[in-house]
């Protein structure tokens, strides 16, 4: 490794590597706020502010973790499970006749509550139990369910449906862009890490060259300070308490795995003290997410792969990258450009990312091989979880406290997986593999 974690590269190299980190962070994260804004029907000016606040928080959160949290070379990224929870809350509230203001207020409430729970767990040293409960198989099932839940909205967006009919030309463009982005993400060599950013930029350019209608934005200033509390005041809904508990468990388990992965590349060990310190800063970042009205963040799982590819594990270089992110979050034309990205482009690039997320989920499910246990746990959990996804939003509106939870196919599927993994099925060592079980037939 050219620069280890504690190394400080020369000034110009620090700027270069910092710029690389910032481009990586943008590429990994940007399509999430764009897709959420399109799903929630934000206008272009609201979308612009949402993207700017997201970029700003990505930089601030990365710097906070570097200085006061886990203190290793891992950047913060938007949590896919939080993205799916926001979509589910929106669908549930709107199906029950609520307004978008109610959706955003309840999102603020569940984000604040989750941040407080994370802080409490870090203070009470209860984090250690999370790792034993959420095994790689459970995390894999969670990723698969998230991608299935999101896929409906993404594919519908790619089809350009209006008045119940698809737009053939737009659909052809979207799926062609999706195939190009997917191919590039699989065969793009060192550029694979930037496929999402490249897809958004060049996809938008192709969209304009082909003559599809575009949205033009007027930028009144170069520098724009973030608006605080843009989602409005929190609206308390006790039905969302299980959501908060659920995402906290996923947050800790998923993020600890990401941190340990990067730590192994860097040749360092993460002790319990570092994990608890990280949790305390993570809770603060969730509170900042509620204040800035953005999707909460987790440590990026791909940070270790990026360090391997570049050979740069310097915290100083990533710190510079965080500074670049903060600057981008304050520059209005950057938010305006990404806010103007067409739906067809955003959804096509998003799908190319989500299919890779699903592949990661299957890999985690069968990390110990395709045993009978792993197949049954995945099969039962995915079948039940996906079944609950088809239940119409609002069907459990009359059920007190648990109505929203029962409409969450991800939550139900993961709950079934936990029961199957830890209480119903025997240990892997007691179960024959699929190959050996079939050999005697």
356 within domain boundaries: no
149 within domain boundaries: no
275 within domain boundaries: yes
- Domain tally, the chain: 1
Dihedral sign, CA of 202, 207, 211, 217? negative
39 conformational bin, left if phi > 0, alpha if psi -120 to 50, beta if neither:
alpha
331 within domain boundaries: yes
pLDDT at 33: 93
The 8-class DSSP code of residue 424 comes to I
pLDDT at 432: 45
Give kind and range of the element (H or E) at residue 117: helix 100-124
Beta strand spans in 292-391 (E) = 297-299
377 within domain boundaries: no
291 within domain boundaries: yes
Strand partners, 433: 371
pLDDT at 441: 38
65 within domain boundaries: yes
Contact 402, 396 (CB under 8 A): yes
Length of the chain: 441
pLDDT at 426: 59
- CB within 8 A of 330, min separation 6: which ones? 52, 56, 223, 224, 225, 226
Give the Cα separation of 212 and 231 in Å (integer): 32
Tell the residue number behind the tokens 């979509």, with chain if given.
87
311 conformational bin, left if phi > 0, alpha if psi -120 to 50, beta if neither:
left
Range of the domain at 300: 11-131+159-342
pLDDT at 439: 37
Contact 311, 2 (CB under 8 A): yes
DSSP assignments along 226-260, one per residue: PPTTTT-S----GGGHHHHHHHHHHHHHHHHHHHH
What tens-digit pLDDT sequence spans the chain (441 residues)?
678 888 888 888 889 989 989 998 998 898 899 999 989 999 888 999 999 999 999 999 999 999 998 999 999 999 988 999 999 899 888 888 889 999 999 999 999 999 999 999 888 766 666 667 778 888 889 989 989 988 888 898 888 877 778 889 999 999 999 999 999 888 867 777 788 888 989 999 999 999 888 776 666 778 888 889 999 999 999 889 988 988 898 888 878 778 887 888 888 877 778 888 888 999 999 999 999 999 999 998 777 777 877 778 889 999 999 999 999 999 988 888 888 888 889 999 888 888 888 888 898 888 888 888 889 999 999 999 999 988 887 777 777 777 777 888 888 999 999 999 888 875 654 444 444 333 333
pLDDT at 437: 37
167 within domain boundaries: yes
In this prediction the pTM is 0.88
pLDDT at 75: 93
């Amino acid at each position: 490794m050219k620069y280890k974690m504690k190394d400080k590269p020369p000034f110009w190299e620090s700027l270069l590597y910092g710029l690389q980190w910032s481009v990586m962070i943008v590429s990994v994260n940007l399509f999430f706020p764009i897709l959420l804004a399109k799903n929630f029907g934000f206008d272009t000016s609201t979308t612009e502010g949402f993207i700017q606040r997201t970029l700003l928080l990505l930089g601030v959160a990365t710097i906070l973790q570097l200085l006061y949290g886990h203190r290793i070379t891992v950047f913060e990224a938007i949590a896919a499970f939080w993205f799916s929870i926001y979509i589910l809350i929106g669908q549930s509230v709107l199906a029950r006749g609520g307004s978008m203001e109610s959706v955003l207020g309840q999102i603020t409430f569940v984000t604040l509550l989750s941040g407080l729970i994370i802080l409490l767990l870090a203070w009470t040293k209860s984090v250690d139990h999370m790792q034993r409960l959420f095994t790689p198989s459970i995390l894999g099932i969670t990723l698969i369910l998230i991608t299935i839940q999101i896929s409906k909205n993404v594919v519908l967006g790619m089809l350009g449906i209006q008045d119940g009919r698809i737009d053939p030309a737009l659909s052809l463009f979207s799926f062609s862009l999706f195939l190009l982005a997917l191919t590039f993400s699989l065969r793009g060599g060192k550029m694979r890490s930037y496929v999402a950013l490249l897809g958004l930029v060049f996809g938008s350019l192709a969209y304009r060259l082909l003559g599809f209608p575009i949205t033009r934005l007027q930028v009144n200033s170069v520098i724009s300070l973030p608006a605080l509390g843009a989602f409005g005041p929190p609206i308390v809904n006790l039905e969302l308490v299980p959501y908060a508990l659920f995402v906290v468990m996923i947050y800790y388990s998923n993020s600890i795995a990401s941190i340990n992965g990067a730590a192994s590349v860097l040749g360092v060990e993460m002790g319990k003290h570092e994990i608890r310190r990280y949790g305390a800063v993570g809770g603060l970042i969730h509170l900042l997410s509620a204040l800035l009205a953005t999707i909460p963040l987790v440590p990026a799982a791909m940070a270790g792969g990026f360090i391997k590819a570049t050979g740069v594990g310097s915290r100083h270089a990533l710190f510079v990258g965080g500074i670049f992110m903060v600057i981008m979050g304050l520059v209005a034309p950057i938010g305006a450009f990404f806010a103007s990205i067409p739906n067809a482009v955003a959804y096509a690039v998003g799908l190319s990312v989500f299919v890779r997320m699903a592949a990661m989920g299957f890999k985690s499910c069968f990390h110990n091989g395709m045993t009978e246990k792993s197949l049954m746990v995945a099969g039962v959990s995915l079948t039940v979880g996906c079944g609950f996804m088809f239940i119409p939003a609002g069907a459990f509106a009359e059920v007190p406290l648990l109505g929203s939870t029962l409409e969450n196919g991800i939550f139900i599927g993961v709950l079934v997986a936990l029961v199957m993994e830890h209480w119903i099925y025997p240990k892997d060592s007691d179960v024959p593999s699929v190959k050996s079980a079939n050999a005697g037939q």
